[in-house]
Amino acid sequence: MRIIAVDDEQFALQDLRQAIEEVEPGCELSCFDKPTEALRYAAEVAVDIALLDISMSGMNGLVLAKRLKEINGKTNIIFATGYSDYAVDAFSVQASDYLLKPVTREAVVKAMAHLRDPVAEKSDKRVRVQTFGNFEVFADGEPLAFARTKTKELLAYLVNRRGALCGNDEIIAAIWEDKADSHALKSHFRHLVADLTQTLKKKNIESLLVKKHGYLAVVPDTFQCDLYDFYSGKSAAVNSYAGEYMAQYSWAEFVNGYLEDIAD
């Protein structure tokens, strides 16, 4: 994510930089105390988000916002100013938000969560796991095909547990909640584990799964996941949550309720 911050007051610019770095620690942030320098930068690279003061010498933030939009219509504009009387004018340039100084981390979090043009999260990981809406797994951009629907649910449950080692009995109770424990059920579960292992091995992504005697877990660092990004406060993930989490699985309803509380 590429972000610029523009303010001709050095202390205000420093505060803005700190708030942005706390909210989006992995972003590519460039700060400018001259609007013309920000424009030159935006003409060379695609800017995802611009946080702008309004009252600046040489060129005010409203003019700067219009110029940035002319360069790239997808640039999200967030105004950060000490004056409340520019709010109506600010939204005339389709600003995502209007923050009053001193800008706080919490204000930036909320602004990033309501961008007009959400920024797609870029990842160098081969596996992407989608939990918002229905659960899906993608390897190298292609949906991962599972031989059994319960194999997919097994992986979903492990993703839901975010790397925690899960006992076989725990998993069985969760994904077969309406069935009593039995030897047949445990045998079926062993087939699911073997099927999951083979499915991952075919794509050369078996490092995603950890197997210990009687326990299973995923390795969170081996894949990109919207749920994990949501908990990390990444704006793209926060924007992508629309009130549904692993909607096809009843055991996920509790977590969905928790996510709704956080999103509110």
pLDDT band for 197, please (50, 70, 90 cuts): very high
pLDDT tier at 235, thresholds 50, 70, 90: confident
Q: What is the pLDDT of residue 119?
A: 80
Residue 140 sits at the vertex; the CA angle it makes with 138 and 146, to the nearest 5 degrees, is 40
Report the mean per-residue pLDDT for the chain. 92
Predicted confidence band of residue 116 (pLDDT cuts 50, 70, 90): confident
Annotated domain spans of the chain: 2-112, 127-263
Do you find a cis peptide bond into 25, omega within 30 degrees of 0?
no
Both tokens assigned to 70 = 């002319």
DSSP 103: P
- The pLDDT confidence band at residue 118, using thresholds 50, 70 and 90, is confident
Cβ–Cβ under 8 Å, residues 93 and 104:
no
Q: Residue 101 pLDDT > 80, yes or no?
A: yes
How confident is the model at residue 223, as a pLDDT? 96
**82: exposed, middle or buried (Cβ count in 10 Å: 0-12, 13-18, 19+):** middle
| 86 neighbors 63 (Cβ within 8 angstroms) | no
**pLDDT value at 15 more than 70:** yes
Q: Is the pLDDT of residue 86 over 80?
A: no
Q: What is the pLDDT of residues 19-40, one digit of tens each?
A: 999 988 888 999 999 999 999 9
Distance of CA 257 to the CA centre of its chain: 18
- 145-180 pLDDT, tens per residue? 999 999 999 999 999 999 999 999 999 999 998 788
CB 50 within 8 A of CB 65: yes
Q: What is the average per-residue pLDDT within 116-142?
A: 87
E strand segments, 102-244: 127-130, 136-139, 142-143, 166-167, 209-212, 215-218, 224-225
CATH number of the domain located at residue range(s) 127-263 in this protein: 1.10.10.10
Q: Domain 2-112: state its class.
A: alpha beta
pLDDT score of 113 more than 90: no
